[in-house]
Structure 1
Amino acid sequence: MNDWISSFVFFFAVIDPVGTLPVFIAVTSRHAEWQKRKIAWLAVLVAAGILLFFLLVGQFLLEAIGVPLSAFQVAGGVVLFLFALTMIFGDSKPEQEMEIVREGHETAIFPLAVPSIASPGAMLAAVVLTDNHRFDMMHQLNTATAMLAVLGIVIALLLTANWIYRFIGDAGASIVSRVMGLILASVATTNVLLGIQQFFSI
């Protein structure tokens, strides 16, 4: 149960469901309610497909090109840490992705499915948390269910986006994003340390 909760928190931090709300509202501002629901479902389903792909075959792709998972874990941890720092000290996730929206790319695929929901950090998490050398099939199944649970929260938030965003506003979404950044920074540091330990123990 603790492993499931840990995976859930990790995916919640990298996906940041609350941070997706401002992006979704901006993307769908000119759409009817039924269109907003369709866009929300399409974005989450596409993101789920992408993350499941990385969860199932990400490690095999790395091994096929000769990259040990420990090296990927260290590199990914560094990238996640830098990403977390931008969430904490720079523009928050909503502010970053609102810039993408202002450039005119208003579709369910981009920027909603990628990179807002299926972010690079989420793709990395899907690979690292299902390492075949460290985790058995049951643990990997638990990781998949934790990821899908977070995506379930995403679709629930998107379907009630207008009401929630009226309640928390820009400031609330920014605060949540920065707190998730702090959690992500600690998780990224752990990944780097585990990757180094695993590399030198081979």
Structure 2
Amino acid sequence: MSFDTTLYMTAVITLFVIMDPPGAIPVFLSLVGRKSKEARNRAAWQAPLVSLAVITVFAIGGQAILNYLHIGIPALQGAGGLLLLLIALELLTGRDANQPKGTEDVNVALVPLGTPLMAGPGAIAAVIVFVNQAEGHSGAPLAVGLAILTIHLILFVVLRFSTVLIRLLGVSGISLLARIAGLLLAAIAVQLIADSVRGFIAGG
């Protein structure tokens, strides 16, 4: 069984751009910045773990779930594109991602960090597409699985050492990363919506 290196790299790059580990830093720090070091470290591994669980579920049975609910990939792409566009606008306009009052006891590693920030519609749709592409190709499913593990390992490392990155980059550097991430997310959102429209036209 040969390992599909091209599919692996394509999946890693795509998921990296969609899930945007550097762009998660400002949100992560705004939610856990005032918590203890132990709480920050715990959230740093809990959030990627939650995301990994959600992504894995959809990688294994996502198509079956969509079929049961009578939802097609174009619909998921359209919904994902619209939601990503909203997130992109928040990043581009620099809206405050502070935790709402009254939610101090909520485990932010589950919501919103694990999902929908990381395991959002865009990432779910991308994984389902990659799994469909991997069907019937020897070594391709392994490539997709390793790509999912790789991106979540990157997410953990980025969040775990985000305090160091803040000190190195400063507030201005993180703000710049957020703007760049917003621009990339906006482009991805438009592409998802365009793919959704093409899918509806082709299937209609």
TM-score of Structure 1 vs Structure 2, range by shorter chain: 0.7 to 0.9
**Partner AA of 1:169 in structure 2:** G
- 2:174 maps to 173
- 1:125 maps to 126
* Secondary structure of residue in 1 paired with 2:70: coil
The CA deviation string for residues 114-141 of structure 1, in whole angstroms up to 9 with x for no partner, is 33333343334333443x3x54265454
TM-align CA RMSD: 3.0
C-alpha distance in 2, partners of 1:23/1:191? 23
The CA deviation string for residues 146-165 of structure 1, in whole angstroms up to 9 with x for no partner, is 23222111111222222111
Q: Does structure 1 retain, via aligned residues, the 8 Å contact 2:74–2:197?
A: yes
C-alpha distance in 2, partners of 1:175/1:80? 19
- 2:159 maps to 158
Unaligned runs of 5+ in 1: none
Q: Which stretch shifts more, 18-27 or 63-72?
A: 18-27
Give the Å deviation of 1:8. Answer: 2.3
Task: Select which of 26, 35, 52 maps to 1:30.
Answer: 35
Q: Which stretch shifts more, 169-178 or 48-57?
A: 169-178
1:172 to 1:183, Cα distance in 2 relative to 1, 3 A: same
1:79 to 1:109, Cα distance in 2 relative to 1, 3 A: closer
The CA deviation string for residues 50-97 of structure 1, in whole angstroms up to 9 with x for no partner, is 121122222211111222223332343343334333332x236xx32x
**Partner AA of 2:50 in structure 1:** V
Whether 2:15 is the aligned partner of 1:11: answer yes
C-alpha distance in 1, partners of 2:53/2:101? 23
Q: Does structure 2 retain, via aligned residues, the 8 Å contact 1:54–1:123?
A: yes
Q: Does structure 1 retain, via aligned residues, the 8 Å contact 2:26–2:178?
A: no
1:193 to 1:20, Cα distance in 2 relative to 1, 3 A: closer
Q: Which stretch shifts more, 178-187 or 148-157?
A: 178-187
C-alpha distance in 1, partners of 2:163/2:40? 10
C-alpha distance in 1, partners of 2:169/2:73? 39
* Secondary structure of residue in 2 paired with 1:110: helix
**Partner AA of 1:91 in structure 2:** G
Q: Does structure 2 retain, via aligned residues, the 8 Å contact 1:80–1:188?
A: yes
Q: Does structure 1 retain, via aligned residues, the 8 Å contact 2:77–2:121?
A: no
C-alpha distance in 2, partners of 1:68/1:120? 13
Unaligned runs of 5+ in 2: none
* Secondary structure of residue in 2 paired with 1:104: coil
How many correspondences in the alignment? 195
Query: Percent identity among equivalent residues?
Result: 28
Give the Å deviation of 1:49. Answer: 0.6
Whether 2:69 is the aligned partner of 1:68: answer no
Q: Does structure 2 retain, via aligned residues, the 8 Å contact 1:19–1:174?
A: no
4+ runs deviating over 6 angstroms: none
Give the Å deviation of 1:175. Answer: 1.6
**Partner AA of 1:104 in structure 2:** E
